[in-house]
Structure 1
Amino acid sequence: MLDIKKLAKVCTVQRFRANDIIFQEGDPGSEMFIILTGSVKVLISAPNGNKMVVSQLKAGDIFGEMALLEGLQRSATVQAVEETTTVAVNECNFESVIGQEPSLALRIMRSLSERIRKQNLELASYKEQLSLVFPKSDVSPPQYTAEIREEHKPDDSTECDGLGDLILHAGNYINVVSPFNDSAYLYEKEIVCPVCSQTNNSKLIRSSKLKLKRVEPDYRHVHTDFEPLWYIIWVCPHCYYANFSADFSNIADRDKNRIRELSGKVKERFGRLPAHPTLTQVLTGYYLTLFWLEQMTAPDPEKLGKLWLRLSWLYQDRQEAEMTMTATRKALDYFIKRIDNSTTKTTNAEDQYFYLLVGELSLKIGNIKEARNYFRQSIIVNGGNERMKQQAQNRIQELRALV
C-alpha cells in the first residue's frame, strides 16, 4: 500500500468530482498521477470523433507516466468516474517520491513492461500472418487463388452468378453459433423495410452494455463476452434487401427501384434465408449487403471497404487464413480507392485515419514498403490526431524488425 501521508509531503494532492476531466487527449503532459481513492476511465478518440472507453483504473493505479518520462502530448483523455483523489508526480519531485515510496518505481517499470509486451505480441501476430503469406523467404509471395468475385452490374442473365461461391461458402457454418450468451446485449425492434415497406423484427445492440476489451491495430473493437459483428447487418426477409443497420433506411429512390428489379433473381439465387442465428446466417447477410452495395448507382468504396474488413475479421475468428487474406486485400483495394477519390470531401483527421488503416492492412498482407509509405502519410497530415501519429511512428519503428 502507498503511504498517503508520505506522498502528500512531496506531491500535490488533487481532488476531482465525478465526471471531471483530469486531462484531455492532445494536452501537453509533464506529470503522472497516482490514484489514492476513487476511480477514473481512460478514453480515446474514434475516427468519427466520439470518445470510447479503453480502460478503467482504481486506487493504487498510475496513469500519465509516458508524458512524464517522454514529455509527449497526452495520448488519451482521463475522466473521473466518481469522487477521486490523486497525487501528481513531475520531474521536480520524482526523485523525492521514489525516495519516499521505492515500490512506485517498480510499478512504473511494470506499466512500461506491459506496454512493450503488448507491442511485442502485436509484432509477433504480424510475423505469424506474414509467414502465412510468405511461406518461404526465398520465393516470390504466392497469390492466393480464392475467388470472391465482385458484382459490377453485368447483363440481366448473369447479375447474380458471382454470388455462387459466396453462398456455398456461407453454408459451411450452419452449425456455428455465437460463443457468447448474447441476449443481455440485444433487444428487438420492429423495422420497416425502405424497399418493400414490409415490417420485421430486427436485433439492435445495447451499446451501453458493451465493455471494450481492446482496440486492435486495424481498429477492430474487441469487446468482453460479445461480438457486435454478428448483428451490424440487417436483412429484410421479404425482399432480401440488406445493409449496415446504421444505413438500412438511408437509400435513394433510384436504388430502391434497382433492388426491386433484382429482388426476384436474388431470392432465387440465395434460396430460403437461414432462420437460425448461426454464422451461416451472419455471412449470408454480409454477402447480400456486398451485392446490393455494388448495385447502387454510385457504389461507395468506403462502405465496401468497411464490409470486406469486417468479413476479414469474421474469417480470422474462424482461423481461415486464405479467406482472411482475400477479404483483407479487397478491403485494402477499396480503401485505396477512397483515398484516391479527389471528389470526396474529407477532414484531416479522416485522411489520417485512412492512411493509417491502409498502412495496417498493407502490413497485414505483407506489403511492407507500401505500409511504410502510408504510415508516413499519416504522420505528415496537418493538424492530425497525435495518438494516430504516435501509432504510425511506432509502426515505422517496428517495421525495421521485419526487414
Structure 2
Amino acid sequence: MDLELLRSCGTIKRYNTDAVVTLEGENTNEMYFILSGKVGVFLNTFTDDAVKLTELSVGETFGEMSLLDELPRSATVIALEPLSVLEIDRSNFELFISRQPEMAFKMMKAMASRLRVANAALSKAAASSQIPVPANTEPAAAKAVQTNTVKAFFPEGHKTYSLVPAFDSSEYIFEKNVHCPICGNKFLAYGQKVSKLRSSCMDKDLRRRYENFDSLWFNLWTCPECCYSNFYNEFPNLSPSKFKLVTAKLSSILNGQKLVITNDIDVNQLFTKYYLSLYCAEAYKAPNIKLGKIWMNLMWLYRDSGDEAMEKTAAASALSYYQDAYLKCDSELKPETEQQLCIILAELCLLNNKPEDAFKYLMSARKQRGGNRTYAQMAEFRLDELKEKEKSSSN
C-alpha cells in the first residue's frame, strides 16, 4: 500500500482517548484510515448498553458504509487510545481507488467481516434479552393526547394540527433510557434503528426520504422534567457552561407553567419539542446553521400538516439563518457542505419569492470546486427546470 499516495488523498485528524470519531445516526459520510492508535466500534442494540463489535488498529479503515451509501452512520466509533487518522471524502476516495484498486478489495473483505460480527452480536443480544417494543405507536387520532399551551410559546399563526404519520414506526424505532445532562432526570426516548432505514429519494431541498419511515418524527430527545430538547445525536453533549443559559431561557418562556411532554407519536407534541429545541439553541447561541436546520425541520412539518402560511413563515426564518451561516461563516466550509447549503438556500429563496438569488446559489453549487458530483448534477438539473419554467411563463 502506497502510504504517501494515501496521505495525498485526505486530511490528517487527531483524537484524544475516549473521543467520539463517528456517532451512530449522524449524517456524515467521510471514511477514515488509521495511521496510529486504536478504535472501538460500538453498536447500540435494543438494550441500555452498547455492544462492542470490534477493535480496529493501524492500517485498517472505518466509515466506508456511509461514504458509499450516503445513509446515517450505522455505528459509533470511539478512540481507545491517542488516535491519528486520515479522513477521506467521497471525491478523494474515488481518486484513491482508481490509482490503488487493491484497497477496494481489502475494504470489501473488512466490511463482510464486520457484518458477520454485527449479526453475531445482535443474535446474542436478542437471545439473552427481550427486545422492547414501543407501546405508544397507535395513531394519534385514536387516542387523546394531553397537551397544554403556554401563552406565547408558539409563534402567531400556529394552530392545533391533526396530522397522523402514514407509516408504522414500530419496525424502525426502539425505546432507550436517556439521561438529561441538565437536570439529571432519566427518561425513555425513541432511538432509530438506522441499520434498517432504506433511502428512497431526496427532495429538491435535500430532505431525505426513507421507505415506510420519516425520521422527522424521531430526530429529537426532550426531557419531560426540565424541557431541554435537542437533536438526539447532540443531546448528551451539552457543555455545563450552557446549562444556566438554557434553564433561564426556558424559565422565561414557560413562566412557571408546566408542559406535558410525552412519547406519544402526536404531531402537536412534535411541534412542541421542535420549538423547545429552537429556544434551547437560541439560549446557548448555537451556530446559525443549526438554527436554520431547526427552522427547516419546522418548515417540513408545517408543509406535511398542510399549513402553507406557517410553512412560509418557517422558510423565511430558515433562509435568514442559513444565509448568515453561508455569508458570515468564521471557518471555511467543505466544498460538499457549501454545495448542500447553496442548494437549500436556492429552494428557500424560491419559497420566499427571490428567484434571482435562487439562480445564483444554484450556479455556485454547480460550479463548486472539489464538490460532490451528485450535488452538482442536482443543481444543474434544477437550473434547467427553472429556466424552462421561466421560458414557458414568458410565452
Aligned ranges for residues 4-403 of structure 1 at < 5 Å?
48-49=29-30, 50-51=66-67, 53=69, 162-165=152-155, 169=158, 172-173=160-161, 175-268=162-255, 271-275=258-262, 276-296=264-284, 298-403=285-390
Which residue in 1 is equivalent to 2:40? Answer: none
| Deviation of 1:345 (Å) | 3.4
Q: How many residues align?
A: 255
Change in CA separation of 1:202 and 1:248 when aligned onto 2, cut-off 3 Å? same
Alpha-carbon distance in structure 2 between the residues aligned to 1:329 and 1:382? 29
Aligned-residue RMSD, C-alpha: 2.9
| Deviation of 1:52 (Å) | 6.5
Alpha-carbon distance in structure 1 between the residues aligned to 2:383 and 2:312? 22
Identical columns (%): 26
Change in CA separation of 1:371 and 1:181 when aligned onto 2, cut-off 3 Å? same
| Deviation of 1:235 (Å) | 0.6
Alpha-carbon distance in structure 2 between the residues aligned to 1:252 and 1:317? 34
Q: Which runs of no fewer than 5 residues in structure 2 stay unpaired? A: 1-26, 31-65, 72-93, 96-103, 109-149, 391-395
Q: Which runs of no fewer than 5 residues in structure 1 stay unpaired? A: 1-45, 56-72, 83-159
| Deviation of 1:193 (Å) | 0.3
Alignment check: 8 A CA contact 1:239 1:267 kept: no
| Deviation of 1:338 (Å) | 0.4
Alpha-carbon distance in structure 2 between the residues aligned to 1:304 and 1:54? 23
| Deviation of 1:285 (Å) | 0.1
Alignment check: 8 A CA contact 1:187 1:204 kept: yes
| Deviation of 1:263 (Å) | 4.1
Alpha-carbon distance in structure 2 between the residues aligned to 1:196 and 1:324? 33
Alignment check: 8 A CA contact 1:218 1:360 kept: yes
Change in CA separation of 1:164 and 1:380 when aligned onto 2, cut-off 3 Å? closer
Letter of the structure 2 residue corresponding to residue 283 of structure 1: F
Question: Structure 1, residues 1-44: CA drift from partner, whole Å, max 9, x if none?
Answer: xxxxxxxxxxxxxxxxxxxxxxxxxxxxxxxxxxxxxxxxxxxx
Alignment check: 8 A CA contact 2:179 2:186 kept: yes
Change in CA separation of 1:371 and 1:189 when aligned onto 2, cut-off 3 Å? same
Q: Secondary structure at the match of 1:189?
A: strand
| Deviation of 1:176 (Å) | 4.0
Question: Structure 1, residues 136-163: CA drift from partner, whole Å, max 9, x if none?
Answer: xxxxxxxxxxxxxxxxxxxxxxxx9752
Change in CA separation of 1:200 and 1:267 when aligned onto 2, cut-off 3 Å? farther
Letter of the structure 1 residue corresponding to residue 369 of structure 2: N
Alpha-carbon distance in structure 1 between the residues aligned to 2:378 and 2:154? 40
Which residue in 1 is equivalent to 2:75? Answer: none
| Deviation of 1:270 (Å) | 5.8
Letter of the structure 1 residue corresponding to residue 153 of structure 2: L
Alpha-carbon distance in structure 1 between the residues aligned to 2:243 and 2:254? 16
Between 282-291 and 380-389, the greater mean CA deviation after superposition? 380-389
Letter of the structure 2 residue corresponding to residue 186 of structure 1: I
Alpha-carbon distance in structure 2 between the residues aligned to 1:184 and 1:270? 36
Alignment check: 8 A CA contact 2:222 2:273 kept: yes
Change in CA separation of 1:201 and 1:289 when aligned onto 2, cut-off 3 Å? same
| Deviation of 1:299 (Å) | 2.8
